[in-house]
Chain A
């Protein structure tokens, strides 16, 4: 017989008492695991949604609105291109990509199109590095400001990046990307040439259809477009891919403070509800955590106190035949450990299954098991059990062994 087998025998012999305590901790851990699994999957869903949307933060002239941006109404104010440098060097974390653009209407073959100047990412990064090496306020270049969980896909072609993410890695001064509808209207193909005003451009690629205003856009290098319209150093918008969590943590006010003359907007109408749900789920998770600590802890403490009172004579006898206080403490802590481990493991399994079953109905998302939560569930469960057993175990260890001589 070992200490562990002794504890197991006692626990299984007093199943009814054990069952109540075990259920309390099991239910608490189940709730925590289920809520966390759903929240985590919901966050992932938001992240995927943001990735699908591309830019989620817009920096516009003060007088422009989001509607102007979406309808490509380009007559509503301008921003200095220097804002891009300022942002790059600001040290604000959570901006995955900055894409300054200048848009304007252009007539080609008697048809109206939107010509959008775009600055390739490589040139922005070069500026950031230049800033880093030339300014005293460094430690803040764009590369260090990106999201830790960057959603920028690797290995995508320029046209895929432009249509999905609205930025581009590289673009020469005389090259253009043409939207799907514009290409059809102008009968353009990859490799075609297109004169706009007094400049002839090479068509690098035709963009896939997006169902947005971008289908009738022509994308050229920002500086070429600025020259065409004689607007050097001017842009209409800076599109930013902001990290979801950083947006929640106050990315917008930080940019607002840096660029007080600009209007900073998030694509909140799409993500706000989900972000709010996530926040609510996190709060509920904390409420459950507090409840499990209080209710679960109280239940285990109650069970342990009851156990000590019921077993006083037994403990006294053990002490009379030579058990020291350390052995008695070990006996109770081993019991608490067993309860904690079983509650943590059971809670993780049931919570995960519940989240997988309920996730699609509650949050319209698919939930997958999170093995990392097993450790968290075990740690919470075991800690609560051990802490709740501390006082009862100490009381047991202080039992007067002479109780063994009493008849009742």
Chain B
């Protein structure tokens, strides 16, 4: 279970403080598929960074199964991410000079897998995502959809129980978007917790739960009509 308790984040720009998250409280149960929607500048990316242990909040706590993430050092948080969280980025963030297989091998290298094991697992994952014939291709030699599938394979390489996806369909065409969302659903059905930020209402429909971020505050949404369950600005 993931708990965000009274999370408050501020940015300081040109001597002025700009609130990004405002006393956010949110609980995500294991195995949930949570969509976070909101307009540009609503704090979605900040929310993911705090959740991923990459941005220390001004106030509040992030608990993973009751353990406070920000009481760990930055290297301990990196180690936690390595084994527990898989990231999917909007722009895929593949390493341009590595092949598809080598990109998928990266998290395995960090987890000190032998080269043979890295190659075997990377090939299996890429095959599962329909890229068996693109193992030795570099990102620049792949289509956008194929690049996102490589990024998904990389995210899965360490078999993470939690998946954090930042606009995973933001750069994709509708058909590819559907494929990616179907795959995220499949991963959720395997028991993984999926937290996905999106500005696309269609993408949010893939989730089992939806919250809206507006001006740094969260509102629980009705998953069917994506309307706020309560109009109160208070956080849940």
Contacts and interface: CB of A to CB of B under 8 A. Distances in A.
A402 B89 CA distance: 11
A261 interface: no
Nearest to B111: A322
Contacts of A321: 81-82, 86-87, 106-107, 110, 154-155
Nearest to A398: B74
B103 to A, nearest CB: 10
Interface string B60-79: 00000000000000110011
Interface in A15-61: none
A94 interface: no
Contacts of B111: 322
A322 B79 contact: yes
Contact of B75 (A3, A10, A317, A326): A326
A320 B87 contact: yes
B102 A1 contact: yes
Interface in B89-145: 89-91, 93, 95-98, 102, 105-107, 109-111, 115, 118
Interface stretch (B46-54, B199-207, B222-230): B46-54
A318 interface: yes
B97 A10 contact: yes
A9 interface: yes
A46 to B, nearest CB: 53
| SS class, residues of chain A in contact with chain B | helix
B78 A319 contact: yes
Contacts of A401: 52, 54, 78
B83 interface: yes
B166 interface: yes
A322 B93 contact: no
- The listed residue with most A CB atoms (<10 A of its CB), out of B54, B82, B154, is B54
Contacts of B79: 322, 324
B1 interface: no
Contacts of B86: 321
Interface in A281-315: 313-314
B93 A317 contact: yes
A6 interface: yes
A306 B111 CA distance: 28
Nearest to B94: A317
Given A1-B118, A402-B49, A324 B75 contact: yes
Contacts of A10: 97
Interface residues of A, number: 28
Given A405-B89, A407-B91, A322 B109 contact: no
Interface in A384-408: 400-402, 404-407
Interface in B36-60: 45, 48-49, 52, 54-55
A2 interface: yes
A325 interface: yes
A402 B55 contact: yes
A325 B74 contact: yes
Given A2-B115, A323-B78, A318 B106 contact: yes
A207 to B, nearest CB: 75
B110 A323 contact: yes
B109 A3 contact: yes
Contacts of A326: 75
A322 B97 contact: no
A317 B54 contact: no
A322 B89 contact: no
A312 to B, nearest CB: 11
B97 A9 contact: yes
Contacts of B45: 405-406
B10 to A, nearest CB: 15
Contact of B115 (A1, A317, A323, A327): A1
Contacts of B48: 405
B78 A404 contact: no
A20 to B, nearest CB: 18
A324 B82 CA distance: 9
A322 B158 CA distance: 10
B123 to A, nearest CB: 13
Nearest to A6: B109
Interface in A314-343: 314, 317-327
A-B pairs with lowest CB-CB distance, top 4: A322-B82, A13-B97, A317-B93, A324-B75
10 contacts: A1-B102, A314-B96, A318-B106, A320-B81, A321-B110, A322-B111, A325-B78, A401-B78, A405-B45, A405-B54
Given A321-B107, A404-B89, 12 more contacts: A10-B97, A14-B97, A314-B93, A318-B106, A320-B81, A321-B154, A322-B81, A322-B82, A322-B111, A325-B78, A405-B166, A407-B90
Interface of A: 1-3, 6, 9-10, 13-14, 313-314, 317-327, 400-402, 404-407
